[in-house]
Structure 1
């Protein structure tokens, strides 16, 4: 691992940028208040700023602004009602029910409002017993409101000063994830690769790329300054994002039968050079990503052309030594792998050219796409959608019941005098922070929060016990706060670790010498909250991941069929519809990633809820391969009329029938004889005849030492096309058999 590069990635990321912004918004007012001796009296001011800052998720300016405004209103209403009824026990339990159900149901409108709802429940926990409000409720509420508004003002100012900053950072993050993806691919070419382990990592990385692409798509395509304005910066950002999506497809087309490649070339040593070159390309991608995050121009790390020339020379030398009728097809496969590597290299050179000559390119840039079609439509906040989810069939409604029950139990436990709980609201905050609609996610976050809390409490206790230097403690406080907010999304355990440290520091500043009580309460309350969250998630209307599998499989099968048919139109009808193709590609990648993500969560469910685990895993793998092979097929679509030797009509009929069968089986529909007959058609290709003729030529010593990197023989292209079509059919056939093994009744039953 290159630690310098990793540090640059983190230091220039939107996470650290957001963490610094929120932390400074909290700390600067705190320093001013502390200077005048008012921090303890007005502690709710910076606390409110932190809560509103946590709801600020990446996205278009308007959606972020509206979510922040909504959070301010929600927080104030919750704080006011909680403060007014804090002395009436029956009303407290009633408000937990009302607020618990309402705010957790906001998740039906997407992650942004789910975040607002979750933080609203945290505000409820803070104000529920009046621990922090003091005697003057009106003054406390105004202080809390003022702190909330402060963050909104900071957001508006920063957005005005740096309107493109977030988009640049998110696009840069796309390139960084693509770099990780390519680095994983490079390991298939090294000695003794762990094929199964790497394949699992590839699928998990696909999920990360999909999620990030969706967030970036929304930010870029829904930001008016980028879509509508004709500034150089806006056009270049659009160009770089579209390039990242096309590059992702090029990386997907590099999918090969790695076991066969290792068997053919593993002992020659050549594959190590391929892996090393791909690793260098991944470093270049990371370099581009860091530059985009930093807002600077990227310069190449390596001299790509000489490195690529050297790799080709090694290939040509090996071919001249080892080429025979028996190895011809292996060398054809390797030749095409090098072509794909060449394409990726060209793409990188183009991106660097954009950095160097961006102004001229920006003037002529037009995406040519209806960007609205490429943005996921979230449910708009309307009452009908909200009411429609008041049903046990709704996973959001079941989650609302679970979190409400957990809050009621948690609050009841916090009022038990014999436990001697000094900070009861920590139990409720722990429940809100841990509980998620999926049991597996709740279980995972529970463990991460427990580890982070215990280790953070121990670290803070040791620090406060041995250190009295105010400058050192304040520096640790500020650094811990920044790292907490920066890591909250990706590294939850570390975020909790640093959160615990800065909470200890904050309580020590407000009430010095009270560290023993804080230590005990923090550990005890986290343990109680975690136990309640875990038990309720397991026992109260749980939603197991296996119940989602059939629907997600159907979506993936359907979108792969649509993706394949769109690509095949270029071969059978000479239709090259770029926008339709990119839309189908997007849908296929998203649906595959959703299925993969659900499978990963299913692994964390109890053993008795992991229904047909092996079959679902096999379906995910075959889905990944089908999508990758279709992407490989699409690379030839621009010259579809140049391959009369291939029977595209029958291949289209044969593969479409197999892909359609997968969907029909999962949809519990009978396969008609016509579909079965279509899937058994034999295409009338003449490629094998040409291949045999070339083998005879090689037997007669007709081997040409032509070292042209750009020269691909027609036969090599034909052979690759038929192999891709054959692979798509074989994998689709395997996926159909997997679908037949899976019982839709067992997988869809609610338990």
Structure 2
């Protein structure tokens, strides 16, 4: 019960519920005002205008949010006017339907915010069929009132923003810490769950993409909101939390170990890894609790459990050495020591988050220049030629827009020919669930049907209990607020609540509520079936056919990330900014690759061409980015020797191999710049350096010098990590080249 109450509190204090309340205020206030002024007949148009323009109210830059809602208002007014004037003339109406659907849905090429504006336009098109206005005067009044309703909602949103200016940012930070905590717990299982690694890795792909999406939105929100007078203390605090979340995420990535080597070293001695695994789990749970406290504003939990778990992880290194004995235990001990160092740094970052949340006065200050911060922003371009560039069957959005236009016209004609009572309910279902990918359309269709059936069952129960229109009105508003709050998190529940809202709203028009419920369920099922079938047979888009460009970008960014790490090794202070930008681009590229792979898994089995090969490529690229992050982390947190000639030779070899992979996939001319013999020699020299230090340490032990000084330990750690990681990266790059060659060949054969 305590956990349920906590989750309820988190929901009621969330920005998602806050946006639901905004919509509730936006639609109920016009009803109340118009009723008391005696102009109630104008209220529905105002409410429709407010409702249609609410989707664009999402976290991000305030300027872009306002612009999106204003464009949405203009678009919904124009679309509504066109449909209302075209309704008496069937041929004209069909042309208008097809044209509006195609053009408006194509606006989605401008990213997530563009897709929400597009949705508002499509929603306006469908709802226009429910509006009964015949004369030009009535139509123009309707459109004008809808515009006023949209402006009213913008004012409501602005007022809520002023009342709680940091609510969206806090929610984003909370969601990010929650996802990172879950990610850390998931990664801990990889240490010992050998048989489950493939499945666990697939789960990490999903969470990684979600984390990167949150980070991108936070960059837009926090780095564009700059005042001439500088940041406030609260803004400074939020930015510190954001930067800590990035550091924690990279540290988790850096602990992606060579699990084949781990299995070889520890074999049946996995019990020595359990302390490290438990520490990750405890730190993950602590991050999740901190994420909740950003919303709850409760007391920060004690850190003793974290420190005890860290101490046990350190003790496991000594226990391993005592059990296995040196020199046999050296390699395993270095693995445990490197892992412990990462976890110690993770704990330091978590403690930094704790200090910021506790408002500790001596937390570090930021000195991020405007020109530096701008390099971290990936802002959506809104040039007109982006629209024209997508006017091709090669474009996924073009195919989707054309498919949606054909489907909408077909569904309307179906309803017209068979005299279906509320054809626009079928159209509404189609525009809500139909997506560019078949897998997502099928998933949303299933959730929509199940949600509608649940909502209908609940509505039937309420109708049987009461016939009170006041109860219907209250439940309609409450259901709509909750639906809008849940629509991004739980579409099935949102669909159920939307169904309840629609049924009770229509109960005012049609007293026979059971008839309304019946038509609602039937029309939803018809719309869902049409959407799924159309996505499968009309200009279908299969993810396997669209992976090439995403993969090319991942290869290019991994190469840049590798070279940025090489520069960081030469001079950490000089190249810190360029490294951070390269890291951000690489993480986004791998996130997009992970998301593409996830969409691939949702396609029909028969369309998942070269699935195992693609999975191998995704996993190899993911592992490479983690290995690079691991090298960077060691460079930043340890006093290192200058980068050796052998290190630079291997970096060149690995980057060239990645370039060769890129060129083979892109059918470009290939130039081999580093011979295999040179790279092998450099690899042997790095391993030889570690072996020399290891032999020296063995000799010291034989002479009775068992104490290990910090300088010698760091020297051994650096030599071991660099030698093995460079060997690992070289092997990964070669495997990537082989896999991309096979993938490129399969693409050529399919043409």
Query: TM-score higher than 0.5 here?
Result: yes
How much has 1:586 moved relative to structure 2?
A: 0.8
Deviation per CA, 1:193-213, whole angstroms, max 9, x where unpaired? 621111111111111111221
Deviation per CA, 1:544-595, whole angstroms, max 9, x where unpaired? 2122212111111111011001101233577741111011111111111111
Distance in 2 of aligned mates of 1:322 and 1:368: 54
Distance in 2 of aligned mates of 1:316 and 1:25: 64
Maintained 8 Å contact 1:657/1:678:
no
Maintained 8 Å contact 2:244/2:352:
no
How much has 1:218 moved relative to structure 2?
A: 1.5
Maintained 8 Å contact 1:658/1:679:
no
Distance in 1 of aligned mates of 2:294 and 2:387: 39
How much has 1:476 moved relative to structure 2?
A: 4.3
Pairs aligned (count): 743
Matched, 1:89 2:90: yes
Distance in 2 of aligned mates of 1:256 and 1:569: 23
Pair 189,740 (structure 1): closer, same or farther in 2 beyond 3 Å: closer
TM-score by length of structure 1 reads: 0.91
Corresponding residue for residue 165 of structure 1: 167
Maintained 8 Å contact 1:548/1:748:
no
Q: Equivalences for 1:186-335 in 2 at 5 Å?
A: 186-189=188-191, 194-225=196-227, 229-258=230-259, 260-261=261-262, 264=266, 267=269, 269-293=271-295, 298-300=300-302, 302-335=304-337
Corresponding residue for residue 339 of structure 2: 337
Distance in 1 of aligned mates of 2:643 and 2:395: 52
Corresponding residue for residue 614 of structure 1: 612
Corresponding residue for residue 430 of structure 1: 429
Maintained 8 Å contact 1:180/1:282:
yes
Query: SS where residue 370 of structure 1 aligns?
Result: helix
Corresponding residue for residue 584 of structure 1: 582
Distance in 2 of aligned mates of 1:584 and 1:172: 26
Distance in 2 of aligned mates of 1:77 and 1:538: 32
Corresponding residue for residue 495 of structure 2: 496
Corresponding residue for residue 690 of structure 1: 693
Distance in 2 of aligned mates of 1:228 and 1:547: 50
Pair 96,682 (structure 1): closer, same or farther in 2 beyond 3 Å: same
Maintained 8 Å contact 2:320/2:329:
no
Structure 2 residue runs of 5 or longer lacking an equivalent are none
Query: SS where residue 190 of structure 2 aligns?
Result: helix
Maintained 8 Å contact 1:25/1:49:
yes
Distance in 2 of aligned mates of 1:228 and 1:536: 54
Distance in 1 of aligned mates of 2:342 and 2:173: 23
Corresponding residue for residue 480 of structure 1: 479
Distance in 1 of aligned mates of 2:178 and 2:437: 28
RMSD: 3.2
Maintained 8 Å contact 1:552/1:591:
yes
Give the stretch that moved more between structures: 361-370 or 203-212.
361-370
Distance in 1 of aligned mates of 2:506 and 2:171: 34
Corresponding residue for residue 147 of structure 2: 145
Matched, 1:109 2:110: yes
How much has 1:669 moved relative to structure 2?
A: 3.1
Maintained 8 Å contact 1:402/1:540:
yes
Pair 698,199 (structure 1): closer, same or farther in 2 beyond 3 Å: farther
Distance in 1 of aligned mates of 2:370 and 2:272: 42
Query: SS where residue 377 of structure 1 aligns?
Result: coil
How much has 1:139 moved relative to structure 2?
A: 4.4
Q: Equivalences for 1:329-728 in 2 at 5 Å?
A: 329-358=331-360, 361=363, 365-366=367-368, 370-382=372-384, 384-417=385-418, 420-468=419-467, 476-508=475-507, 510-511=508-509, 513-572=511-570, 576-638=574-636, 641-642=640-641, 647-677=646-676, 680-683=679-682, 684-685=685-686, 686-695=689-698, 703-704=706-707, 712-728=713-729
How much has 1:697 moved relative to structure 2?
A: 5.6
Query: SS where residue 450 of structure 2 aligns?
Result: helix
TM-score by length of structure 2 reads: 0.91
How much has 1:113 moved relative to structure 2?
A: 2.0
How much has 1:490 moved relative to structure 2?
A: 2.9
How much has 1:298 moved relative to structure 2?
A: 4.4
Corresponding residue for residue 20 of structure 2: 19
Maintained 8 Å contact 2:321/2:329:
no
Maintained 8 Å contact 1:574/1:641:
no
How much has 1:31 moved relative to structure 2?
A: 5.6
Distance in 1 of aligned mates of 2:226 and 2:279: 40
How much has 1:178 moved relative to structure 2?
A: 0.9
Maintained 8 Å contact 2:656/2:672:
no
Pair 5,346 (structure 1): closer, same or farther in 2 beyond 3 Å: farther
Maintained 8 Å contact 1:83/1:128:
yes
Pair 505,128 (structure 1): closer, same or farther in 2 beyond 3 Å: closer
Maintained 8 Å contact 1:452/1:494:
yes
Distance in 2 of aligned mates of 1:38 and 1:266: 79
Give the stretch that moved more between structures: 133-142 or 713-722.
133-142
Maintained 8 Å contact 1:654/1:678:
no
Corresponding residue for residue 730 of structure 2: 729
Query: SS where residue 637 of structure 1 aligns?
Result: helix
How much has 1:615 moved relative to structure 2?
A: 0.7
Distance in 1 of aligned mates of 2:741 and 2:677: 18
Distance in 1 of aligned mates of 2:106 and 2:185: 40
How much has 1:330 moved relative to structure 2?
A: 1.0
Distance in 2 of aligned mates of 1:191 and 1:719: 25
Pair 33,503 (structure 1): closer, same or farther in 2 beyond 3 Å: farther
Distance in 1 of aligned mates of 2:736 and 2:644: 28
Distance in 2 of aligned mates of 1:473 and 1:311: 59
Distance in 1 of aligned mates of 2:525 and 2:345: 53
Corresponding residue for residue 51 of structure 1: 52
Deviation per CA, 1:690-717, whole angstroms, max 9, x where unpaired? 22443566678865599x9x99542123
Maintained 8 Å contact 1:45/1:143:
yes
